[in-house]
Structure 1
Amino acid sequence: MLDEIREARENKGLSRRALAQLIGIPEQSIVRIEAGRGRVENLILIMAAIDYHVAGLSHGHNFPAQLRNRRIALGLSVKDTAAKAGLAWHTVAALEAGQGTISSLLKLIAAIGRNVRRRAPVRSHWSVARTHGRDSRFTPAEFLDHIYYAFGRIGLDVAGHPDAFVQCDRMFLFDERGEDGLALPWMAETVWCNPPFSSQLKWVRKAHDEVQRGNAKTVIMLVPARTESRFFHDVITVEADVALLRGRIKFITPDARREQTPFGIMLVIFGASSDQLDRLKSRIDATWLPRSSKSDEGSGQVLTIGQILAA
């Protein structure tokens, strides 16, 4: 992390002296921090000045909040975390308040956030074929209103972004490796997931697994209408409610432009009640696929698209 901070400073074209003058601290303070010493308060100032944001922890409006939310996501108390990191409990509390020493911070990160790294800058475009970089697109607020009408407030957004429009109680920030949402349990009554389209199947499998485990009661996913995978035919059409949306959604880019998808979109919903589905069907224009039956596997029956849509 500290090596990345130094590299980020250099990439900004800032010397230690120039950065020190910019944020109003002694140049020696920057030297100490880049060497693994000094105060967390100065580190936070440096991170803000060089546009360094952390991935691999948790969501949060700033770095200390990310530390706290990571601890909570792991189910650890302050005292448990202190024991795990070899620190005093009041030291952990201070770090979560943006205070303390760099040496203590590094011990805490080693204990609860070993994959901490720089979050890639948000790109203003996205591509289905891209396997690297952020798939940045925000679901329009007017579409989310239909989701709230049917399901109420969202408990957890598992592939979220701080600038997105989703109204939720908790959020896992999405990064290019998907380590938060794909690694952590989805403990919520209602989960929303508009995942990176370049790794759609991983997220759909994760959603199914979380519902099967009883972690999430209901998962609502907004994904491309890709129906070619065996998982779609053998699992999704059997256990999920699928709505093929008419028309194409215009997603919002980080720079506030609307971009229409070049492909169809569908909702895949695990664990919805009949009342929830009825409310949603009254609000969105879509074709709902009938559920398949596992007992029909191997029957050899082939249905045409017309038969499916007429069912």
Structure 2
Amino acid sequence: MNDYTDYYRMQALNINGTVLIFANHYYRDDIDMALSKDKGRTWSNEVTLVANRGTTSYGHMGTSFTAGVLYNSSEIALAYEGSNNKIQYIYSTDWGANWVSETQKIIVDNNTSFNPLISDSKGLLVYSVPNSTNVDLKVKAIGRPMISEIKLVPHFQYINVTWSKTNGTLANGYMIFKGNNTWDLRFCAQVDHKTWFRDYSELYNMSRRTPIYYCVIGFYENWSLIAFSNVTKLQNRLPLIENLSAKSGYLYVNLSWDPIDRSLGYNITDYVVYRGKSPESLQRFARCGEATWYNDTFRNITYPCPSLLKLDL
């Protein structure tokens, strides 16, 4: 970088004697980089990593980009506010020698966002998003996913979420995030020393057709390392059984329902009836085959009087 007066912000990373300098070009608002492998004695030619961002930044001039080493590894991320006023990043997996193209940038948030900061060892990107009255602070894990094989299986009461260990090692704990899109995932739950979670919060939404997205983040002691999974989508949930009705008779309750529409692609071979005092305490007690009705005759159940029976369906 021949003339420092051409730049209004510079940031340096020192990685075991390899020094990288990133700088914002004053006129074009490019982000350039130069690299030294001998502790700054000699330098490579400057390379433009991000070109022509424009000058409409929502953030402060000095914090419209940031760079950081992720997980104390060879991976470096460069996060910045693009010309579309959205935080995005590119990365290198070999200490800055080569970078993914700007055309392969990863957009962190589809909303207007600015002022990115990277927590190096934890692989976390912090940035600001304006709202109607103030500014929200958001956090996102970035870099290469280290948790794989995330699987989502719908059950009639919950969604079962499972994932692999972090590089074959069980983390101290995992946090599960979910949302209706990939850029607005909210904290759902935290589990310790296990790689599965049952999301009962979707109990009343199991039949909705909109997709739901999950991401898992693992952390080690004192948060010294954070690992995360890809965002995974659950598109198809359980089909909806409609028009369930209950009619009481003498010492029995007749249950009936509409059959599942086979045109949806489901091959229904058995209807199973569950019963309980609350939605959370349902237990299976009858299988009906392909029939769409069942008579509950109260076998093995004693009631004070049939007329006092209350049905909550």
Alignment TM-score > 0.5, same fold: no
Structure having the larger proportion of residues in helix: 1
Q: Which has the larger radius of gyration?
A: 2
TM-score of the superposed pair, with normalisation by structure 2: 0.30
TM-score of the superposed pair, with normalisation by structure 1: 0.30
